[in-house]
Structure formats: structure tokens, C-alpha cells
Amino acid sequence: MLKKKLPMGALESQIMDVLWINGGWMTPSEIQTKLSQVRPLGYTTVTTIVARLCKKGRLERRRDGRSYAYHPTLTSAQWTANRMGDILAKVEDPTSTLTHFVGILSNAERTQLRRMLSDRDKK
């Protein structure tokens, strides 16, 4: 029976989630240990993915003994906000997209959004 492979983006996302949840610097071995609680993953696979994420500018690295430790260059919130901005820049009608987005927010989220916009306008 063949194992179903996750799309590469999904594996990158899982690694980023581990790093964001941890909040500190992690070696590929530490990342592999955390991910093994969800699915078995080889050490070389983890090192390959973190190297790719580094080249893409999503991770920074520093020496940690004989290995490297990795850390996200942006927080999860910053990354998500950038992605939202990228998506809005690509759609034909960003105003309509924002209108639909606001429509799916909870009352509490809309209230918070109003507060943030009001505070920003005061500056």
C-alpha cells in the first residue's frame, strides 16, 4: 500500500507551525521529534525542507553545535497578514473580497476590527 504524500506546501506549513508554536530556535532533530507525534518523518526530509524555507526567506538559521538551529523570520500573524495582502493584490475586485471577508467575521471580530481602524485613524 502506497502512503499518500502531503503536498510540499503542507509539509512546509507543518514545520512552520512547529516553529511558531515552540517560539524559539529549533534544530532539525527537535523539529523531527515534534512532527513525529503527528506522522513519521525522516531527518533528511526535515533538513531539506528547513533549507528550502531558509532559501525562501521564511526561516533564519544560526550555528548550534555541529548543526543549525532555525527560527521563523516572521510571526504567524505577520505571515498570515502578508498572505492576505498578496491575495488582495491579485484579485480583480479587492473591495468586494474585503466585504465578503468582513461578512464572515464574528460580531466580536468585527468590533475589534472597528476599534483597530478607529485607533489607526487617530494616529
Residues 20 and 48 occupy one common structural domain: yes
Average confidence (pLDDT) over 24-48: 93
**Distances, alpha carbon 12 to alpha carbons 24, 45, 53, 87, in Å:** 17, 11, 7, 19
Q: Is 122 a residue whose pLDDT tops 60? A: yes
User: What's the domain count of the chain?
Assistant: 2
List, for residues 89-119, the tens digit of each pLDDT value: 999 999 999 999 999 999 999 999 999 998 8
Residue 70 and residue 102: Cα distance in Å, rounded?
35
- The domain containing residue 89 runs over which residues? 76-122
Q: Is 34 a residue whose pLDDT tops 50? A: yes
Q: Is 83 a residue whose pLDDT tops 50? A: yes
Residues 51 and 104 occupy one common structural domain: no
Name the band, by pLDDT with cuts 50, 70 and 90, for residue 123: confident
Q: Are the beta carbons of 17 and 29 closer than 8 angstroms? A: no
